[in-house]
Amino acid sequence: MNPDPEIRRLLDLMPASGRMLTRLVSKPENASAIAAPFPVPWKPYRPIYINFDLWQRLSRPERDLLLLQVVSWVCGVRWFKPDIYQGLTLAGLVGTASEVLQGDAVGIVTAGSLSAIAAWQVWRNNRQLQLQLEADETALRVAERRGYSKVDAATHLLSAIETAAAIEGRPSLSFIELVRSQNLRAIANLSPVGIPETLRQQR
């Protein structure tokens, strides 16, 4: 597959926010068909890596939905929304800087530890299952605006998860992929059983 026309097609498929915030990058050495590293706040854009040798083995609708899901997840990670952990991270960084200026070794360790713990909590919250499920549902909404029905979009995303695992040589789906798949089966009317709300809200 020639990456250039496919990248242009995928850019047209993406929502405007995705085109502004992300960059699609050809990465032939990638073990996954598509992968995005966890976004960090100091980078101006969020890369999404595609191994086009593997990517071409997915059907076009599978590629569309997989791309929309990854873009939705990447754009859904928010480092700078006001909550207690962002506040603690900022306070820890300010405290660390202050202690460094004063030369207080104990203060440096304490403030630095506070900052690291709070930053880890931000990272953990943004990796949770709930965000993956929300990214799935955002991808389905965008796909509907691109001409897919919700049921078809859910069916294609479900198929994409399973096909990607197979072409990447993974023997089974991860726990998060299994939960997402069950949720998509319910949306696609392939199963009467969805996922419990308590599981959706786990961090």
Residue 148 is classified by DSSP as: -
pLDDT tens, 88-98? 555 555 555 55
Alpha helices in the chain (DSSP H): 3-13, 16-21, 52-55, 60-76, 84-102, 105-127, 129-145, 150-167, 175-187, 197-200
pLDDT value at residue 49: 98
Mean of the per-residue pLDDT values for the chain? 83
What sign does the dihedral 143-147-148-150 (CA atoms) show?
Answer: positive
Distance CA 131, CA 119 (A): 17
Structure tokens at 11: 């850019």
Question: Can you say how many angstroms the Cα of residue 46 is from the centroid of all Cα atoms in its chain?
Answer: 10
pTM: 0.77
- pLDDT band of residue 83 (cuts 50, 70, 90) is very low
Q: What is the DSSP letter of 38?
A: P
145-200 tens-digit pLDDT: 999 999 999 999 999 999 999 999 999 999 999 999 999 999 999 998 888 776 66
pLDDT classification of 203: cutoffs 50, 70, 90: very low
Angstrom distances, CA of residue 153 to CA of 71, 127, 139 = 15, 23, 8
Distance CA 132, CA 199 (A): 12
The pLDDT tens digits for 8-29 are 999 999 999 999 999 999 999 9
Confidence of residue 113 (pLDDT cuts 50, 70, 90): low
Strand partners for 24? 48
Six token digits for residue 4? 């250039």
When comparing pLDDT for 202 and 49, which is higher? Answer: 49
